[in-house]
């Protein structure tokens, strides 16, 4: 049976960054075409010789200048055959996390992105295509995974205060924490190490910095350890 098909494949990257108790999303402004000057997710079409992962990594670097610590495939968007007004496009979306020290952006002139900018998750501009829906889907996935996988550490600096970790969870999950129980639970996992570095403090007990021990987490996971944070 002859196949009549004219469908293009694209990739989009939803990159979350976290700084000063606020979650951000990375967007690029279109330089050309019918959506010129419109904010969209970083992304573009997959080249014939590329894998999907190679394509999204390339597009993200070309349009924003960054690389990420954590990336996973989110969902394939294509049920709406008119999601791109130019032609039929199926987009494979990936979501990624980046630590604050790597939030500096650059855009290569050869791309169709005019500029890149971070926006607070709840203060997004008008977006092109169905990218608002894509971001909403990624945010829900982030909130869910935060409770059963320690991906939140990818949003923090290598060394962090425990209060930084508490604030990150409260911010992303959008609910208050029982700080005492949260601290007890996290420390019981044995996957963060207390350092000798102490934060300057004008009053109260000095706070020490911690580091996420990724290797220990991987070793524990291999042995059957399950990370889980429950909230009432």
Is the pLDDT at 232 greater than 90, yes or no?
Answer: no
Span 88-103, mean pLDDT?
A: 88
Quick one: pLDDT at residue 231? 66
Structure confidence at residue 79 as a pLDDT band (50, 70, 90):
confident
The reported pTM is 0.91
Sign of CA dihedral 151, 154, 158, 160: negative
pLDDT digits (tens, 9 = 90+) for 158-167: 999 999 999 9
pLDDT digits (tens, 9 = 90+) for 123-156: 999 999 999 999 999 999 999 999 999 999 999 9
Beta bridge partners of 92: 11, 76
What SS3 string covers 189-228? Answer: HCCEEEEEEEECCCCCCCEEEEEECHHHHHHHHHCCCCCC
- The answer to whether 193 and 213 have CB atoms below 8 angstroms apart is yes
Task: Please name each of the domains of the chain with its CATH number.
Answer: 8-145 (3.90.79.10), 151-222 (1.10.10.10)
Span 195-216, mean pLDDT?
A: 87
Percent residues over pLDDT 70 in the chain = 97
Is the pLDDT at 202 greater than 80, yes or no?
Answer: no
Quick one: pLDDT at residue 105? 87
Is the pLDDT at 229 greater than 90, yes or no?
Answer: no
């Amino acid at each position: 049976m002859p196949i009549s098909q004219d469908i293009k494949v694209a990739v989009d990257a939803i990159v979350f960054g976290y700084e000063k108790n606020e979650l951000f999303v990375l967007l690029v402004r279109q330089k050309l075409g019918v959506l010129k000057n419109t904010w969209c997710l970083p992304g573009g079409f997959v080249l014939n010789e590329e894998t999907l992962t190679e394509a999204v990594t390339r597009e993200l670097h070309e349009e924003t200048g960054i690389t990420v610590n954590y990336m996973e495939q989110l969902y394939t968007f294509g049920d709406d055959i008119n999601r791109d007004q130019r032609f039929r496009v199926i987009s494979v979306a990936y979501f990624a996390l980046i630590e604050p020290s790597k939030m500096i952006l650059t855009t290569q002139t050869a791309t169709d992105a005019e500029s890149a900018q971070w926006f607070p998750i709840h203060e997004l501009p008008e977006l092109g295509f169905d990218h608002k829906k894509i971001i909403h889907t990624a945010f829900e996935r982030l909130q869910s995974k935060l409770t059963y996988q320690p991906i939140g550490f990818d949003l923090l600096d290598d060394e962090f205060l425990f209060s930084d970790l508490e604030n990150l969870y409260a911010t992303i999950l959008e609910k208050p924490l029982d700080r005492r129980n949260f601290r007890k639970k996290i420390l019981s996992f044995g996957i963060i190490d207390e350092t000798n570095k102490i934060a300057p403090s004008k009053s109260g007990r000095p706070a020490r910095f911690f580091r996420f021990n990724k290797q220990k987490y991987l070793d524990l996971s291999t042995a059957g350890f399950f990370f889980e944070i429950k909230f009432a």
